Amino acid sequence: MAQIHLNIQQEMELIRLIEFERAKSATAEGQGRRCAFPLKPDDPLQAELISLGALAVATQTLPDGRANPIVAITSAGYTFFTEKARRERELRRQQRRDYLLVLISGAFAMLCTVIGFLVGRMA
């Protein structure tokens, strides 16, 4: 699955939609049901999320036979936040590793300096 990249506004909109969906499904009888949102052609943020693959457009047939375009959150939209958290954990792990390497290098340099000073004083 292709990884999507969102800016802060897009992330906030996706968070809002997911939280609304979770709140709606928690109050409904069917737990875990997905929500469909109305398609807003004049909303540039929704259009960006659709083009990035976080949202998908589908058509819903109304009882009177008309086609109603709706928007639903895709699996890429759901997994975006778990992937983002995984990337941040990996970045923190690498930063801790780098910090530890610099600390060990500094301690070794200090030890070498002290040994050099002691050897110099004895000679």
Q: Is pLDDT at 114 greater than 90 in this prediction?
A: yes
pTM over 0.85: no
Q: What is the mean pLDDT of residues 103-110?
A: 97
Residue 115 is predicted with a pLDDT of 95
The residue extents of the domains of the chain are 8-122
Class of domain 8-122: mainly alpha
- Closest Cα partner for 58 from 36, 33, 78, 29? 36
Residue 36 is predicted with a pLDDT of 81
Task: Classify 30 as helix, strand or coil.
Answer: coil
Residue 106 is predicted with a pLDDT of 97
Contact 57, 69 (CB under 8 A): yes
Torsion of CA 69, 23, 52, 45, to 10 degrees: 80
Q: Is pLDDT at 107 greater than 80 in this prediction?
A: yes
Contact 55, 39 (CB under 8 A): no
pLDDT tens sequence across 30-71: 555 677 888 888 999 999 999 999 999 988 887 888 888 889
- Closest Cα partner for 6 from 55, 43, 72? 55
- The mean pLDDT of the chain is 88
| Total residue count of the chain as it appears in this document | 123
Element (DSSP H or E) covering residue 15:
helix 8-27
For tokens 């109603």, the residue is 68
pLDDT tens sequence across 71-84: 999 989 989 999 99
